[in-house]
Amino acid sequence: MPRLARTHGLTDIQESILATVHEFVDKEIIPRAQRLEHDDAYPTEIVDGMREMGLFGLTIPEEFGGLGESLLTYALVVEELSRGWMSVSGIVNTHFIVAYLVSQHGTAEQKARLLPRMATGEVRGAFSMSEPETGSDVSAIKTRAVPDGDGYVLNGQKMWLTNGGYASVVATLVKTELGAPSVYGNMTTFLLEKTPGFGETAPGLTIPGKIEKMGYKGVETTEMVLADHRVPASAILGGEPGKGFYQMMDGIEVGRVNVAARACGISLRAFELAVAYAQQRRTFGKPIAEHQAVAFKLAEMGTKIEAAHALMVNAARLKDSGQRNDVEAGMAKLLASEYCAEVVQEAFRIHGGYGYSKEYEIERLMREAPFLLIGEGTSEIQKTIISRGLLRDYRL
C-alpha cells in the first residue's frame, strides 16, 4: 500500500469499499481519462461502473436503498476517484449534496419518492446557487419564486450547474419575499424536476448547453434559465419556505469537504507521476530523484499531501459526529486546494519540457487544479469563514 494519505481507524467495510474503488480507478479510469478528457467526452462506461458499485447511493440510508455510509467514507471515495480523473468525482459530487439535502431536510414524501431512485443513479442531482452576477455573495441572488395559487412561479437565471444536463432534480436556491427581518430568511430551496438533456427540459426550464472550460472536462457545466416555470408547493425542500439559505449552507459544508478530498486525490496522482518520472529520467549520469533539488521537492509534496489529507479527514469526522464543522471544512478546503495547486506545479516542473506535452498526464492536472481554488467558495471566502469562526470562539 502507498504510504501517503492513509486513514487510520476505518472499519472493514470502509476498507473494502476503498480497495474496490482503488482497483476500479486503476483499471477503468486512469487508462481512459486522457482520451476522454481531450475529447471532452462524457464517461458513460465509467459512470455505469460506478452505478454498479452503488456509489450513487453511498451515503443514502439503507431504508431507501443506499449503502448508508458516512461522509468520511464518501470523502475517501472521492479522493480515490479524483486520483483517476477529477471530472468523474464531479459527477457524483453534486448528486451527493442533493441526496444529503433530501435526506437531512426533505419531507417524508420527498425522501420516499426521490432517494430510492437517486441511490441507483436513475435520478441524478444538481446543485444551484450561483447566478451570472452572483457567486460568493449569496444574498445578492435575483432569481425569484412568486406564490401563484397552490404553487409558485420561478423566474431568473442560474449559473455553473455541474451535472446540469444529465440531472433530473436540481436543488435551487431562490428569493421568496416572506417579510423576514434578514435577507437570509427570505430564501427558499426548491427541488426542480426535469428531463435529462438540453433545451427546454420542463415547461419554463431551459438548459441552454455546455459551458466550455479550461479543464474539468467530460462532466457538463451549464446554465439554467427559468421563465415562468411553475412548480407545486410540494417542490419546496422540507415543505417550508424561508429555510433555503440554511439548508444550502449545510450542503456547502459537506461540499467543501468534498473539494478538499478532490484536491487530495489530484495531489496524490501528481506525486505518483512525479516520483515515477524522477526515478526514470536521468541527467548527469543518475536519476533526477537523486539530485537534492528534486528530492527536496518530493519531500515537500509528500508533506503537503499528508497535511491536507489529515485536515480533510478531521472535517469529515466532525460532520459525521453531528458537530459544527464550518471552520474545519473551510480550513480543509483552503489548505488542500492551495497545496494541490503547488504540488501539481512542482510535479509539472519535475517533468520539464515533457510536462507541457498533451501526451503526459501532468498537463491535464495543471488545467484541473485551478478549479479547486474556486469551487465551493474561493480561498478568500474560506479565510473569511475561518477568521469569523476563530473570532467567535476566542472573543474577549
Residue entry with cell 445578492 = 140
Label residue 40 left, alpha or beta by phi (over 0 means left) and psi (-120 to 50 means alpha): left
Q: Which helix (H) or strand (E) holds 222?
A: strand 221-232
Check if the beta carbon of residue 68 is closer than 8 Å to that of residue 61: yes
SS3 12: helix
Confidence of residue 18 (pLDDT cuts 50, 70, 90): very high
Of 173, 166, 64, 89, the C-alpha closest to 124 is 166
DSSP state of 68: -
Check if the beta carbon of residue 261 is closer than 8 Å to that of residue 349: no
Label residue 361 left, alpha or beta by phi (over 0 means left) and psi (-120 to 50 means alpha): alpha
Confidence of residue 218 (pLDDT cuts 50, 70, 90): very high
Instruction: State residue 289's pLDDT score.
Output: 97
178 vs 159, which has greater pLDDT?
159
pTM of the model: 0.94
What sign has the CA pseudo-torsion 80, 263, 330, 244?
Answer: negative
Give how far the C-alpha of residue 83 lies from the chain's centroid of Cα atoms, to the nearest Å.
Answer: 14
SS (H, E, C) 166-211: CCCEEEEEEECCCCCCCHHHHEEEEEEECCCCCEEEECCEEECCEC
Other CB atoms within 10 Å distance of the CB of residue 66? 21
Is residue 1 scored above 60 in pLDDT?
no
Of 328, 320, 323, 334, the C-alpha closest to 372 is 334
Instruction: State residue 136's pLDDT score.
Output: 79
How many Cα atoms within 13 Å fall on the side-chain side of residue 77?
28
Is residue 2 scored above 80 in pLDDT?
no
Q: To the nearest whole number, what is the mean pLDDT of the chain?
A: 95
Is residue 175 scored above 60 in pLDDT?
yes
Q: How much of the chain, in percent, has pLDDT values that exceed 90? A: 92
Instruction: State residue 178's pLDDT score.
Output: 86
Is residue 31 scored above 80 in pLDDT?
yes
Over the Cα atoms of the chain, what is R_g? Answer: 21
Check if the beta carbon of residue 301 is closer than 8 Å to that of residue 289: no
Check if the beta carbon of residue 180 is closer than 8 Å to that of residue 148: no
Beta strands in 284-328 (DSSP E): 286-287
DSSP state of 136: S
278-298 residue pLDDT tens = 999 999 999 999 999 999 999
Exposure string for 183-216, b = 16+ CB within 10 A, e = fewer: eebbbbbbbbbbeeeeebbbeebbbeebeeeebb
38-58 residue pLDDT tens = 999 999 999 999 999 999 999
Q: Which residues contact 341 (CB under 8 A, 6 or more apart)?
A: 369, 370, 372, 373
Instruction: State residue 137's pLDDT score.
Output: 84
Record the cell numbers describing residue 362, joined without a space.
501532468
Is residue 65 scored above 70 in pLDDT?
yes
Strands 169-175 and 125-128, bridge-based pairing? parallel
Instruction: State residue 324's pLDDT score.
Output: 85
Cα–Cα dist 141/174, whole Å: 7
Confidence of residue 104 (pLDDT cuts 50, 70, 90): very high
Q: Is 338 a catalytic residue?
A: no
Confidence of residue 253 (pLDDT cuts 50, 70, 90): confident
Instruction: State residue 133's pLDDT score.
Output: 87
Cα–Cα dist 173/144, whole Å: 9
- Mean pLDDT within 1-12: 88
Task: Please tell me which residue in 79, 328, 361, 376 is annotated as part of the active site.
Answer: 376
- Mean pLDDT within 154-170: 96
327-368 residue pLDDT tens = 999 999 999 999 999 999 999 999 999 999 999 999 999 999
